[in-house]
Amino acid sequence: MSKLVIVGTVAFDAIETPFGKTDKILGGAATFIGLAASQFNVDASVVSIVGGDFPKEYLDLLSDRNIDISGVEIVKEGKTFYWSGKYHNDMNTRDTLATELNVLADFNPVVPEDYKNAKVVMLGNLHPNVQMSVLEQMKEKPELVILDTMNFWMDCALEELKAVINKVDVITINDEEARQLTGEYSLVVAARKIHKMGPKYVVIKKGEHGALLFYKDNVFFAPALPLEEVFDPTGAGDTFAGGFAGYLAKTEDLSFENMKKAVIYGSTLASFCVEKFGTERMTGLDTREVHHRLQQFKNLTQFDIELA
């Protein structure tokens, strides 16, 4: 299980938070997923699309980390997908200031031949038809397919979304989206309904309140690390998904016990992502820092009660 396919946006983001604002910087779901997964030195490929305006140095950031970018189509005469947003003071809510689809509007993803037998597929947030197209290009059923999505597709492409949800093993979704998708307020009940839509594993992301992993009648919870300051939440959910997918692709172990560890790795990497603007913290991250923070997660959550 040595190969991971990641599909998602590679994009420009412009971000405003209470701490400052950026010009157009590197962003996109596949970018954050790839950077997180690269912590595990797993053989990975990003499938995406950018315009002729996209700096080579941004693509180099990925290929320098042994991420295969042959699946990133470059449309010379096109412009790269651009998103701009402004976070409110609580950092939990944001306004979208601009969304320019540009080359993303006509994106037909092409999975490189070498990756059509990958064992793990990470479908980052994109139109469900694009996610489905990637799945259909795989030569055999991958051992694990993980899907991330958002409320936007529930509003405008619900049937297509349900079709792809039915094909995946793991869905990662935030709490409000889980409620919207199922019409259930209780996340326990919502997870049960989502299981019935297809995914054996349901990960519900609660932002600063952590993440829940549901499998059959089991539930596991990973908190978010309490931080002094959340500088920029952009990409935290994708980083979580990338850490989760990368750890599972690397360890080649799809047991529930290992999924728990994948959730902890995802939470750990996400806790770094929010410390600086965009991808800045993730590109400078080393293994020593990750291990130190895993120890903090253990200290935060582990206790020793003996039961008769």
Instruction: List active site positions.
Output: 238
Distance of CA 173 to the CA centre of its chain: 10
Do residues 232 and 20 make contact, with C-beta atoms less than 8 angstroms apart? Answer: no
Tokens representing residue 59 in the block: 């693509």
What is the rounded distance in angstroms from the CA atom of residue 187 to the CA atom of residue 173?
A: 11
Judged by CB under 8 A, the residue of 132, 167, 223, 252 near a second copy is 223
Kindly state whether residue 305 participates in binding a second copy, applying the rule CB under 8 A. yes
Spell out, one character per residue from 259 to 278, where the chain touches a second copy: x when CB under 8 A holds, - when not: -xx--x--------------
Kindly state whether residue 286 participates in binding a second copy, applying the rule CB under 8 A. no
Closest approach, Cβ 306 to a second copy, in A, equals 10
Question: Which region among 40-48, 64-72, 277-285, 299-307 touches a second copy (by CB under 8 A)?
Answer: 299-307
The maximal CA–CA distance of the chain, rounded, in angstroms, is 69
Angle at CA of residue 151, ends 176 and 222, nearest 5°: 45
Do residues 1 and 42 make contact, with C-beta atoms less than 8 angstroms apart? Answer: no
- Residue nearer to a second copy on the CB measure, 229 or 286: 229
CA-based nearest residue to 229, from 35, 94, 90, 22: 90
- Residue nearer to a second copy on the CB measure, 7 or 212: 212
What is the rounded distance in angstroms from the CA atom of residue 92 to the CA atom of residue 209?
A: 11
Spell out, one character per residue from 175 to 214, where the chain touches a second copy: x when CB under 8 A holds, - when not: ----------xxxxx----------------x--xx-x--
Which residues does residue 75 pair with via DSSP β-bridges, in sequence order?
51
Kindly state whether residue 227 participates in binding a second copy, applying the rule CB under 8 A. yes
* Interface contacts to a second copy, rule CB under 8 A: 89-90, 185-189, 206, 209-210, 212, 218-221, 223, 226-230, 257, 260-261, 264, 291, 294-295, 298-305, 307-308
